[in-house]
Amino acid sequence: MKKRDIKRGTRITLLFAVVVYAVITVVLWVRRPGAPDDHDAPAASPGGARMAWADTLTNAASQSAALRGMDASIERFMGQWSIKGMSLAVMRGDSLLWAKGYGMADAEAGTRMTPTSIMRIASASKLVTAVAVMKLVEEGKLHLDARVFGPSGILNDSEITAAILDPRAEEITVDHLLRHTGGFTLGAGDPMFNTKDIMAAKHLTAAPDSLELTRIVMGRKLGFAPGRGRKYSNFGYMLLSLVIERVSGRSYWDYVTQEVLLPAGAPHFRPATNSYASRNAGEVRYYGPDDEKVEEWNGSGRMVDRVYGGSNVHGLMGAGGWVTSASGLARLVASIDGDPRLRDIIGPASVAALTAYADSAKMARGWSSADRDGHWIRTGTLSSTHTLIDRFPDGECWVLITNSGVWRGHHFTRQMTALVEKLRATYSPALPKRDLWGEGRR
């Protein structure tokens, strides 16, 4: 073979190798987690590549000399209110810019708070439940104007129907429950938090389950005609949990996990438990506003820590029964905010329905409030935790969760909101332009 032919063959071989290498590189780049079209694929399992962030986020990733002042402000705030631990996540344009834990997740065990520490989120669980309702609406399995009670209602069990005292209850719709306009009031206390009183009044030897509690409460008169007033109702969102179960044919926890949370790429969510011994993996220890022992919620007569047995947190279901991380909550918001940079798990009409401005009270479906300008807030309060989701019109969202209750109760939300406003005004421009979810968006 001539030397010229050998050189030509070598050049062809090298060219072919380069082309093959380039093709393989492009394929791997497109298929890698976080590639431009990766977020359009179905969500992976909890251990899948799309959700790797849930296990890899660290405090070290959010250490920044430019933001030491923000760290100091948060630590001062925690000291002022005797908060043991807090987690913060900041999202902008569907990208997670900042995720950090402050203080102790479990002081007795010496465990520090991290971005993946999970905590009770209290009434922020209502946002999760509202999204699940809208998913069922989109699936054609549910209508917002569907009646909840009565022979033609969703919860049409003969025992529940027979227990109804106020005939107006048969007018209650799914949308009334979403908007807290079902007619339920707290004249006899909050049925989700006064189990012992209910047991005494009804001479029960065991705590009522959700269906028995429903029968008991439906044996009371409504405070107002459905749709003719508004009163915040945890019981109403527990009822929505039962509606989700009845319509989907699955447990509330399973439907929400499989159809809402995993598609959103938010695997941190778990059902809350009532005791420290039964806590979820990665869950923090909770600290109440005092050390006073209280009688256990189920009438056992045992004296327990207020935050571990004082109330049936698990039994709140969709009204307040989820635990997750601040970054997990931020991820959920990114999947329901109408921003196309991370594919939403509900359609534009559902996003609009959840955030629609109703009146000066601003109470929305799932969200605590929604302004005309697109400012959405969701809060949550228990004796063991406080949660704030503050999503601003420019798409920036701040999420705070604490593992400590404050004596001011739900009024503490104002202090959390003021902290976010202060931090955002001062430090938002210094937040790194990146995506800790690893999906390449800015």
The residues, ordered by sequence, that sit 6+ positions from 24 with a Cβ below 8 Å of its Cβ are none
Judge contact between 173 and 145, C-beta under 8 A: yes
- Taking only Cα atoms into account, the Rg of the chain, rounded to an integer number of angstroms, comes to 25
* pLDDT cut 70: percent of the chain above it: 87
Looking at every residue in the chain, the average pLDDT score rounds to: 89
Q: Which CATH number fits domain 66-124+252-430: 3.30.470.20, 2.40.37.10, 3.50.50.60, 3.40.710.10?
A: 3.40.710.10
Judge contact between 95 and 442, C-beta under 8 A: yes
Judge contact between 231 and 185, C-beta under 8 A: yes
Residue 4: pLDDT band by 50, 70, 90 thresholds?
very low
Mean pLDDT of 40-60: 58
Per the DSSP assignment, residues forming a β-bridge with 324 are 119
* Amino acid letter, residue 310: G
Tokens 């999204």, residue? 131
Residue 17 has pLDDT above 70, yes or no: no
Mean pLDDT of 222-235: 96
Residue 32 has pLDDT above 50, yes or no: no
Mean pLDDT of 169-190: 96
For residue 363, what pLDDT is reported?
Answer: 81
* pLDDT cut 90: percent of the chain above it: 82
DSSP secondary structure letters along 257-304: IIIIITTTT-TT-EE--SSSTTPPTTB---B-SS--EEE-TTS---EE
Residue 61: pLDDT band by 50, 70, 90 thresholds?
very high
What angle is formed at CA 82 by the lines to CA 81 and CA 87, rounded to 5 degrees?
Answer: 85
For residue 52, what pLDDT is reported?
Answer: 66
For residue 29, what pLDDT is reported?
Answer: 32
Residue 243 has pLDDT above 60, yes or no: yes
Mean pLDDT of 42-58: 57
Tens of pLDDT, residue by residue over 132-150, are 999 999 999 999 999 999 9
Provide the sign of the torsion angle of the four alpha carbons 138, 232, 272, 336, taken in this order: positive
* Amino acid letter, residue 61: A
* Token reading at 275: 């005791």
Judge contact between 92 and 396, C-beta under 8 A: yes
For residue 219, what pLDDT is reported?
Answer: 97
Mean pLDDT of 175-189: 95
Mean pLDDT of 291-297: 95
Per the DSSP assignment, residues forming a β-bridge with 398 are 90, 390
Judge contact between 169 and 358, C-beta under 8 A: no
Tens of pLDDT, residue by residue over 401-429, are 999 999 888 899 999 999 999 999 999 99
Domain boundaries, the chain: 66-124+252-430, 138-248
β pairing state of 119-120 and 270-271: unpaired
Q: Strand (E) positions, 293-435? A: 293-295, 303-305, 322-324, 369-370, 376-382, 385-391, 396-402
Mean pLDDT of 176-194: 96
Q: Strand (E) positions, 159-295? A: 270-271, 293-295
Residue 56: pLDDT band by 50, 70, 90 thresholds?
confident
Pairwise CA distance, residues 235 & 373, whole Å: 30
Tokens 């109703």, residue? 358
Residue 51: pLDDT band by 50, 70, 90 thresholds?
low
Pairwise CA distance, residues 25 & 127, whole Å: 41
Give Cα separations from 205 to 199, 300, 313 (angstroms): 7, 9, 20
Residue 6 has pLDDT above 50, yes or no: no
Pairwise CA distance, residues 346 & 162, whole Å: 37
Burial of 37 per CB tally in 10 Å (0-12, 13-18, 19+):
exposed
Flag whether the pTM goes above 0.85: yes
